[in-house]
Amino acid sequence: MNDRIRISVDAMGGDIGPRVAIHGAALALKERKNTSFIFHGRKEEIEPLLDEFPALKPVSEVRHCDNVIAMDEKPSQALRKGRNNSSMWAALQSVKDGEADVAISGGNTGALMAMATFCLRPMEGISRPAIAAIWPTLRSDIVVLDVGATVGGDAKQLVDFSVLGAALARALFDQDLPTVGLLNVGSEEVKGLETVKEAGRMLGHASGAGFLYHGFVEGDDIGKGTVDVVVTEGFTGNIVLKTAEGTARQVAGYLRSALTANFMSKVGAFFARQALTALRRKMDPRTVNGGVFLGLNGIVIKSHGGTDEIGYKSALGLAYEMARSHLIDKISEGLSRFPPIVESQPELEAEGKPA
């Protein structure tokens, strides 16, 4: 039985260039020996970097691509350009062709979503894909989505995101019935936009079909870990994500200033260095780098474009775990259970029958 996980990498995507992807892959290989890589991009830039990592080179293949999608290109422009031998499209095509188990890119998010949707196509029953983030909390890691794929969205899309997020939680956390909450301005059922309230009613009827619906959650419930999956649309989700990342850096800066303010602070920091190191790692956004594109016929991971090799290693680790846990099968299984329950409810309510 071949248990090797093969990762297709858009080596040219991101703010820094291929060095981050290559170095990150070398670090990821140390932790997961049964990984191999297909690097897509300009050979003249990639191959010299591989020579610097002797352990990585034997498990790597380089496929030359002339075109690189710029970080500021519009998705429509990138889609037209991308199919003409671009590193981003080639990375996705390797997954579609069954040559790789998962694709990863640190490039233009809008372009990657457009290409992934066009190349891999949404799964049956899913209207729009979502980007999910793995979020550390006081309780444990949770799933938050959508963090940037779909701006706005109707009740059906929020329901889709709930099913997708629950499937990811089952794959990541080995939970049979993860709890799902809709992000809202209050926990009361009368609060919020009508689309959110309608999604809540639909999820309430279907609770038990692969997840347990908790109800509405507020912003502070994310950090508490009140539920396993927090669902919102992409505009709000992206702001929440960026705010959390900025707050983590802000708090880290406050700590550095406080612990180096004077001699006694430095002495205290010396004796507390082990605890401070653990705290610093916990608050480091690089350790949870990587968004999962959910709802497509293939696994795609989006790395932060400005991350370093540590962050890219984290995203590659996430890609590995998604492929190893058979995420697509878990999503398909969840979708097969959910739609009949949702579709039957409007008829029941119209007839005045109890759900």
pLDDT tens, residue by residue, 221-280: 998 999 999 999 988 888 988 888 788 778 878 878 887 888 888 888 777 777 767 766
Of 57, 63, 8, 3, whose CA–CA distance to 32 is shortest?
Answer: 3
Q: With bands split at pLDDT 50, 70 and 90, how would you rate the model's confidence at 76? A: confident
Same fold, 1-121+296-324 and 129-290+327-355: yes
Q: With bands split at pLDDT 50, 70 and 90, how would you rate the model's confidence at 332? A: confident
Write the CA distances from 133 to 30, 33, 145, integer angstroms.
24, 25, 6
Distance CA 195, CA 193 (A): 5
Distance CA 175, CA 39 (A): 34
Q: With bands split at pLDDT 50, 70 and 90, how would you rate the model's confidence at 218? A: very high
Question: Average per-residue pLDDT in the chain?
Answer: 85
Specify the length of the chain in residues.
355
Q: Let me know: does 98 contact 309? Beta carbons within 8 Å.
A: no
Please state the domain extents for the chain.
1-121+296-324, 129-290+327-355
Distance CA 192, CA 185 (A): 6
Per-residue pLDDT of 93-149, as tens digits, reads 999 999 999 999 999 988 999 999 999 999 887 878 899 988 888 888 899 998 888
DSSP bridge partners of 183? 217
Per-residue pLDDT of 237-254, as tens digits, reads 889 888 887 887 788 788
CATH code of domain 129-290+327-355:
3.40.718.10
**pLDDT beyond 70 at 339:** no
DSSP bridge partners of 8? 38, 103
Query: Domain 1-121+296-324, what fold?
Result: Isopropylmalate Dehydrogenase (3.40.718)
